[in-house]
């Protein structure tokens, strides 16, 4: 099972940059999208159906042109869960989950804390999501949480850890949370296979950051420890350039 995750920074903009052609080439069984910035009725769903993803599920923010997540799959899931049931999260369309056999795949878009007044919102989301995930895994142990976490875990995950130590996305409290999230029963799938530096998933549009690989690793496929022995591969697909992020992909038996 090939599972991809991609913060597309606007699905309509990504479509105009060749997203569907890339999707057909990458050929995941399931893809989790974040920051779709669109309502379902603003999209021509036939383009996804024609690409082989007739099963597509969208959870938009109440605010138009903002946030939102989706899951596209080649085969129909056994179940779709939209949102978490936590009102303030669901108003921003930040979580959607699909069950395939004994595996449950979530697309999550964790808030950014860089905008004025949003750090407290992000910290609240992080705390509430940890509790939600703890409860969910009692019933759904084989959980994979893909998405944009908006946090770099370790110094190896960011191009300039010293200058960014007081920037949201690399704050000690954020790094501690993602470390605790992993310790609660998850595997950072990319680091499971690759311990090398200079692997990032997001680059600023400023100062030629992507060409110079001055990036941040913000996108993760966190895999429940119960699935660790079934995890075969985890890669960052830097050649895809439809967004300021790039996609990631894992393979699970």
3-class state of residue 111 by DSSP: coil
What mean pLDDT do residues 152-173 have?
97
**Alpha carbon of 239 to those of 26, 201, 208: distances in Å?**
11, 11, 16
Q: What pLDDT sits at residue 20?
A: 98
Total domains, the chain: 1
Question: 125 and 57 in contact (C-beta within 8 Å)?
Answer: no
The stretch 86-100 carries a mean pLDDT of 98
Q: Which residues are catalytic?
A: 148
Residue 111 class from Cβ within 10 Å (0-12 exposed, 13-18 middle, 19+ buried)? buried
Q: Is the pLDDT of residue 85 over 80?
A: yes
Question: Tens digit of pLDDT for each residue in 104-133?
Answer: 999 999 999 998 789 999 999 999 999 999
Backbone angles phi, psi at 251, to 5 degrees: -125, 130
Residue 8: is it exposed, middle or buried by C-beta count within 10 angstroms (0-12/13-18/19+)?
buried
User: What pLDDT sits at residue 160?
Assistant: 97
Angle at 244 between CA 63 and CA 180, to 5 degrees: 80
Is-contact 109 67, C-beta < 8 A?
yes
Please give the pLDDT value at position 116. 76
Judge whether residue 15 has pLDDT over 90. Answer: yes
User: Each residue of 52-72: pLDDT tens digit?
Assistant: 999 999 999 999 999 999 999
CATH number of the CATH domain containing 32: 3.60.10.10
pTM for the whole structure: 0.98
Tokens of 163: 């200058």
pLDDT tens digits, residue range 167-220?
Answer: 999 999 999 999 999 999 999 999 999 999 999 999 999 999 999 999 999 999
Residue 45 pLDDT > 80, yes or no? yes
Q: Within 13 A of 185's CA, how many CA atoms are on the CB side? A: 17
Q: Which domain holds residue 158?
A: 2-252
> What pLDDT is attached to residue 21?
98
| Rounded-to-integer distance, Cα 34 and Cα 32, Å | 7
Q: Note the pLDDT of residue 117.
A: 82
């Amino acid at each position: 099972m090939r599972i991809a995750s991609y913060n597309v920074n606007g699905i309509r903009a990504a479509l105009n940059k060749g997203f569907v052609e890339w999707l057909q080439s990458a050929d995941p069984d399931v893809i989790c999208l974040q920051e779709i910035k669109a309502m379902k009725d603003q999209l021509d769903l036939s383009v996804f159906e024609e690409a082989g993803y007739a099963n597509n599920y969208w959870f938009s923010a109440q605010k138009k042109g903002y946030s939102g997540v989706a899951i596209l799959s080649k085969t129909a899931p056994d179940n779709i869960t939209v949102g978490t049931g936590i009102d303030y999260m669901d108003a921003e369309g930040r979580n959607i989950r699909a069950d395939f056999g004994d595996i449950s795949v979530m697309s999550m878009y964790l808030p950014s804390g860089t905008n004025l007044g949003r750090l407290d919102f992000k910290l609240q989301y992080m705390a509430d999501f940890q509790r939600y995930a703890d409860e969910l895994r009692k019933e759904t142990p084989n959980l994979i949480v893909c998405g944009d976490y908006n946090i770099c875990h370790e110094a190896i995950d960011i191009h300039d850890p010293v200058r960014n130590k007081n920037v949201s996305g690399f704050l000690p409290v954020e790094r501690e949370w993602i470390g605790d999230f992993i310790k609660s029963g998850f595997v950072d799938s990319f680091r499971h296979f690759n311990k090398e530096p200079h692997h990032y998933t997001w680059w600023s549009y400023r100062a030629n950051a992507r060409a110079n690989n001055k990036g941040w690793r913000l996108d993760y496929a966190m895999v429940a420890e119960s699935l660790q022995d079934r995890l075969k591969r985890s890669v960052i697909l830097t050649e895809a350039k439809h967004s300021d992020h790039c996609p990631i992909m894992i393979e699970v038996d």
